[in-house]
A and B are shown apart, each in its own frame.
Chain A
Amino acid sequence: MPRLTSINELKELRSVLFNAADKNKPRIVICAGTACQASGSNGIIRVAKKYIIGKRLIGKVGLRVTGCHGFCEMGPFILTEPQQAFYSQVKLSDIPRIIEALLANKYVEDLLYKDPNTQEKYYNRDDIPFFKNQQRSILGMNQKIDPIRIYDYIAQEGYTALEQVLSKQNPEWIVEQVKSSQLRGRGGGGFPTGLKWELLAKQPGNRGKFLVCNADEGDPGAYMDRSVLEGNPHSIIEGMLIGAYGTGATEGIVYVRNEYPIAVKHLNIALKQARQLGLLGENILGTDFSFDIKIVKGAGAFVCGEETALIRSVEGKMGEPHQRPPFPVQKGIDGKPTAINNVETWANIPLIFRLGAKKFADIGTERNSGTKIFSLVGKIKNTGLVEVPMGISIKDIVYDIGGGPVGKAKIKAVQTGGPSGGCIPAKQFDLPVDYDSLTKAGSIMGSGGMIVMDENTCMVDVAKYFMNFLKDESCGKCFTCRKGTQRMHEILDDISKGKGTLEHLDLLKELAEAVKDTTMCGLGQTASNPVLSTLHYFQDEYHQHVVDKKCNSFVCKELVGAPCQAACPLGTEVWRYVALIEKGKYEEAYRVIREANPFPSACARVCGRNCESRCNLAASGDEAIAIRILKRFITDRISPSVYKPVRTKLNGQKQRKVAVVGAGPAGLSAAHYLSLLGYGVTIIEAGKEPGGMLLSCIPAYRLPRDVAHKEIELLLNDENIDVRFNTALGKDVTIDELLKGGYNAVFLAIGADKSWGLDLEGEDTKGVYSSMDFLKAFNLRGEELAKGHVGIVGGGNSAVDAARVAIRQKAVKSVTMLYRRTSQEMPAYADEVEAAIEEGIRLETLVSPVGIRYIKAAQAEGVKIETFVQPVKIDAKHGHLVDIKCVRNKLGDVDSSGRRKPVPIPGSEFTIALDTLIVAIGEHPDSDCLTSMGLELDKGGRVKVDAKTLRTGRQEVFAGGDLVTGPNTVVEAIAAGKRAAQVIDRYLQGKELVELPKIKLPEIFIEPAVVSEEELENVVKRAEPAAIPAESRKKSFAEVELSLSDEQAKREARRCLRCDLEFTQRAKNEEAKYAAVEDTSA
């Protein structure tokens, strides 16, 4: 490499390089950033090289190894030029195909990037939403440059900005340009860079001045500085050269973390090459300007990113901040004036001169110019580095670029700025991302970390995590920062363990504010942000931890215990019966189930399975334990007579009476538990038989009638309970009459069985039914209302139930479901939908219904499911339905529920000919009569109750189940009934209604299964019960799902991770310790 001795020589070199480059030469580009190396890009590079050499393709295909492109989620990937095809998550065996396709100017279709939401395939990388919505002025360079080749950088207009300033020979002009570009420090503080340079330029230069590039990037979850250093080190060098010329600095230092070996390596190579070319050192490009840069490696202290601590560290002293003033610009390294800028700030400098300061200032918003790189990580589909203009909203970053949440959990908050930043809740996602707005919202821009959190993230835990980080990383000089972070962590730890009180929250806030106020450096002053912002925006979550002793995100172990038990509305000790099944103790397992749940057989078939969705096995990447199927196994096998409920003895006291209105699951379980507590219960039911929605709505192929009847009979076969059928509240009896008639309390559980209408004209036409009327007609009276071509509007469980019942009716030719969003957003149970698909129910959607079992089941049975469809008109002929007109939707903006709103596409109207239309868009309680009895209702007709006590506005009247919640799962209704019984008992005994919350941790120790080495190696898959084939079940109401065999059940139970042992083993160990101590003392 010959040394360049003038600016013209550099220009000549560039034009030579530029002309030599063949723009249309096929080339594969492989990212070798740290993230891609971790996911295996080194192997890809090796194999690609070998293939090109082996097939004698040198000269025909180029290979460029570059720094990070930003889409780290999809690594390792290969980008082809000039096609710009993007092959993501490439395997070694894919390389030959990609190279051959590129040579033939074709695509390897199956490897192209597909959008995970829509499955749409992209041929050009720039069309991919992740890239399309960004403005990649800094990161975009990474793909064009091999960081260890200075010629690559020069050919891409590298060092043109340096040429410009060296030819101008006017340092003031440089500072003026940077000032008018309005560039602000990218390290997080946002101090105007031009101003800093001006201050440095004004300092006396007789002793020398320092320029520092701060690459001590230590925020958990942030790595954009690393990517710029790794991928484009020359942009930093060029930026610093310009800075040195403008400010008169004589020495440059890059302070970089030793944990960034690739960055250090690339930077070293870049510095060496720049020196060889005469771009660094004495008399740069033949001018009298001299400047050199050296690397100082940091030893890993977070606080050394703070500028005064960094100076100490460079000087070789302990990295601790000191008082400003004097500012580093006045008195920095070795007492000499020093300006410290972040990596990204330096990378922006050449850009300002290449674009022109004016044009640069136009990017972004006023006072917040240019682009900013964020590292988008956490619970989001597209993790990686994104570069956007300042002032873009968080929503755009999270949903348009990030692709929204992973899985079903909604996004709750975004944490910006690392440990010094705060959490911004989803409801503020319209906030523009710039220095001032974020600070106002209680967070900071910081260096650009952006951690996305969903409902499975506990905000108390987040605050605790950052406090734990900061108490280790505080330098410890300021007493308030050192002790304050320790104390905040201590309090948060107590809260997460259920030992917190409301006073703790006040103390925490007071302490956090004091720490913010009284510490010396930026670390301490911002250390409280994680606590203060979560306290501010997520107060209810803190209250849940402190008052209710609950962690609704299932993160705080000491509050959750075994997640399966905590998730169950009934508090069933799931872990216990699963462990008992493994031991073969089936009767005991039945008793554990029945103890918590009066409807074990029904729940074994139709439960919503909160337990499985919270199973730690699922969280660790495997499939959840098949808990409901194990419950089915036990209830099918064991006679209910093994369980003998414990009854409270009255001891001669007079029996008191409670009236329960409604004989659904909520009413029946309330009656059952009240009876056990010694009360005389009268159930008042409007219908002819008990069971409520269990029998009227749930079809027999899901819950066989004999099973349901047997279970209900068992509960009603009770001397304390009698039932009055055909008695409707409001018509035959009122609450006042009941209370006057000797009942001490009333529990209302009349359910929600009235369907909402579409609010369209012609809904009363013959052939249009509500889902409830349709299901009741069949389930209770055996009437088959569906005929010919059937349409069902809705995507919930009752819609799928109606579809699957319809397809089983004789006169039905086809069944089509119409839903206004995508199938992924259907509220119906996944496995039920899947079953319907299996039954041949048609599902037409933009999105493949993979993993949605319930929808699939409906489809298998012949139901067609049309998504993105909204009915707008019902047509009738001779008083009977003939067709409906629908309009197609597309997904619009994200609404407050975190889902994208369906927006009608104009002109997309189409007609579906139908003989029967079933409207299943939701239900509400038939509760009009209750207002006249002195109860308050909300807009949806639901009774307003105190959430903790279920008490209505009238002190002796309680309500629960669907009447209060709207349509909900069976298990929630049973839980409401059970709770009502406890509350009514407390009320009638004159006790305080609300009990102090108790944390239910596993208590009973059950020996864990011994798993052999062999078993550990062979991964056992989740047990799937056999099912009747779709063809034969299509016209039958026999139960679809079959039970497990003995061996299957035991094997399934062995998969359990036994989260309970963490608690029971501990207690057992302690017991053993005490026993040992007593032994020795005796």
Chain B
Amino acid sequence: MITLKINGLEVSVEKGTTILEAARFLGFPIPTLCHMDGLTPYGACRLCVVEIGDGPRAKLVSSCTYPVEEGLKVRTASSRVLKARKMILELLLASCPQSKTIQDLASAHGIRQQRFKQEYDDCILCGLCVRVCQEQMMAKAIGFRNRGEKRSIGTPFDVKSDVCRLCGGCMYVCPACQLRCTYNEPEKAICGGCANLTPPCVQKEQFDDMMCYMSPCVACEIKKD
């Protein structure tokens, strides 16, 4: 057993446990996007960063991949952590504004602005789909390709995969391409409570009878400011 302190609380967990698991065991909430129980931790979205260590050696690490160490001191919500998380969410919103998951997270973290040029991507390359395909479906139909800004997910050479069973697991786990906010097209709306960030909330009255999953709506909040 390994003993460590999370936010001042001492906890003993088995060797090989990650900080994320230990913190959740204690009930400390840590937001995640690329983490899913049952899949290998990957550490891509960086949303789960926590602060470890003291003084000048204190640093942020992704809690989903970092194994617990004896005597480790962890802070899951220090100001440094929150500041970093906010910036990550702002970057996510700037790239993938339509993802309900991201919108909800942004809303919960009090993001009131998005200062980058708006993009409309539908993938944050969290790799959940790749891991589901490989680890749960044993198919390895899709994977990462290229690096840096050209990185993408798909089948090798974009050829239709022989091993894909069209199970749909990849779409099921996706935080970005499922549950997409459809703005001002009422007939297609899942919730329709908000529109995209620019221009926000057009024709709001049309959505009266629908419920927004987000509270409050990120777009409307930004408009208010």
Q: Does A479 contact B (CB under 8 A)?
A: yes
Given contacts A325-B67, A325-B69, A477-B44, contact A518 B147 (CB under 8 A): no
B83 at the interface (CB under 8 A from A): yes
A-B contact pairs, 23 of them (CB 8 A): A301-B147, A320-B147, A473-B147, A473-B148, A476-B146, A476-B147, A476-B151, A477-B44, A478-B43, A478-B44, A478-B46, A479-B45, A479-B88, A480-B88, A480-B91, A482-B125, A482-B148, A483-B95, A487-B94, A490-B116, A511-B87, A511-B91, A519-B46
Known: A318-B144, A471-B149, A472-B148. A479 touches B44 (CB 8 A): yes
Is A303 an interface position by the 8 A CB rule?
yes
B184 within 8 Å of A by Cβ? no
Decide if B188 is an interface residue (CB 8 Å cutoff).
no
On whether the beta carbons of A510 and B44 are closer than 8 Å, the reply is no
Contact in complex: A517, B44 (CB < 8 Å): no
Q: Residues of A with Cβ closer than 8 Å to B? A: 301, 303, 318-320, 322-323, 325-326, 470-480, 482-487, 490, 503, 507, 510-511, 514, 517-520
Contact: B116 with A520, CB < 8 Å? no
A514 and B84 contact, Cβ closer than 8 Å, known pairs A301-B147, A487-B94: yes
Q: Could you say which of B3-11, B58-66, B164-172, B214-222 contacts chain A?
A: B58-66
Inter-chain contacts of B69 with A (CB < 8 A): 325
A517 to B78, CA, bound (A): 13
Binding site secondary structure of chain A: helix
Contact B46 A472 (CB under 8 A): no
* Residue with the greatest number of chain A CB neighbours at <10 A, chosen from B44, B59, B60, B150: B44
How far, in Å, is A25 (CB) from chain B's closest CB? 53
Interface residues of B (CB under 8 A from A): 41-46, 49, 59-62, 65-67, 69, 80, 83-84, 87-88, 91-92, 94-95, 115-117, 124-127, 144, 146-151
Q: A322-B65, A470-B148, A476-B147 are in contact. List 4 more A-B contacts (CB 8 A).
A: A318-B144, A471-B148, A474-B148, A477-B127
The winner among A318, A473, A480 for most chain B CB atoms within 10 A is: A480
On whether A518 and B92 interact (CB within 8 A), knowing A473-B148, A477-B44, the answer reads no
Q: How far does the alpha carbon of A391 sit from the alpha carbon of B69 in the complex, in Å? A: 36
B80 touches A323 (CB 8 A): no
Q: How far is the CA of A824 from the CA of B67 in the complex (A)?
A: 63
CB-nearest residue of chain B to A476: B151
A687 and B151 CA atoms in complex are apart in Å by 74
In the complex where A301-B147, A476-B125, A514-B84 touch, is A520 in contact with B62 (Cβ < 8 A)? Answer: yes
Cβ of A514 and Cβ of B87 under 8 Å apart? yes
Residue in A closest to B49 when the chains form the complex, CB atoms = A518
Complex-state Cα separation, A507 to B115, whole angstroms: 8
B residues in contact with A490, CB < 8 Å: 116-117
Residue of B nearest to A515 (CB): B87
Cα-based distance from A303 to B83 in the complex (angstroms): 27
Are the C-beta atoms of B87 and A303 separated by less than 8 Å? no
Contact A518 B125 (CB under 8 A): no
CA distance A490 to B60 in the complex (A): 25
- A323 pairs with B60, CB closer than 8 A: no
Q: Which residue of B lies closest to A486 (CB)?
A: B149
- List the 4 closest pairs (A to B, CB-CB), nearest first: A476-B151, A514-B87, A323-B65, A472-B148
Nearest Cβ on chain B to A304's Cβ, whole angstroms: 10
Closest approach, in angstroms, between the C-beta of A95 and any C-beta of chain B?
Answer: 47
Question: CA separation between A873 and B94, bound complex, in Å?
Answer: 72
> Is B84 touching A487 in the complex (CB atoms < 8 A)?
no
Pick the contact of B91: A303, A477, A479, A503 (CB < 8 A).
A479
Query: Which chain A positions have C-beta within 8 A of B60?
Result: 517-518
CA distance A318 to B156 in the complex (A): 13
Least CB distance from A160 to B in Å reads 41
Query: Which of B43, B91, B149, B151 interacts with A520 by CB under 8 Å?
Result: B43
CA distance A517 to B85 in the complex (A): 10
Residues of A within 8 A of B144 (CB): 318, 320, 476
For the complex, give the distance between the alpha carbons of A43 and B67 in Å.
58
Residues of B within 8 A of A323 (CB): 41, 43, 61-62, 65-66
Q: Which residues of B contact A322 (CB under 8 A)?
A: 43, 65
* Residue from B49, B67, B94, B125 within 8 A of A517 (CB atoms): B49
State whether B83 touches A514 (Cβ < 8 A).
yes
Known A-B contacts A323-B43, A510-B87, A514-B84; A479 and B125 likewise in contact (beta carbons under 8 Å):
yes
- How far apart are B80's CB and chain A's nearest CB, in angstroms? 7
**B87 to A475, Cβ gap below 8 A?**
no
Q: Which residue of B lies closest to A323 (CB)?
A: B65
Contact A487 B116, beta carbon cutoff 8 Å: yes
Task: Let me know if A475 and B148 touch, CB within 8 A.
Answer: yes
Report the separation of the CA atoms of residues A517 and B69 in the bound assembly, to the nearest whole angstrom.
Answer: 20
Can you name the residue of chain B whose Cβ is closest to the Cβ of A490? B117
Complex-state Cα separation, A320 to B43, whole angstroms: 12
CB distance from B52 to the nearest CB of A (A): 12
Shortest distance between the CB of B176 and any CB in chain A (Å): 11
- B116: chain A residues at CB < 8 Å are 487, 490, 507
- Cβ-neighbour of A476 out of B61, B84, B149 (below 8 A): B149
- Residue from the set A475, A479, A484 with the largest chain B CB neighbour count within 10 Å: A479
Q: Can you name the residue of chain A whose Cβ is closest to the Cβ of B152?
A: A476
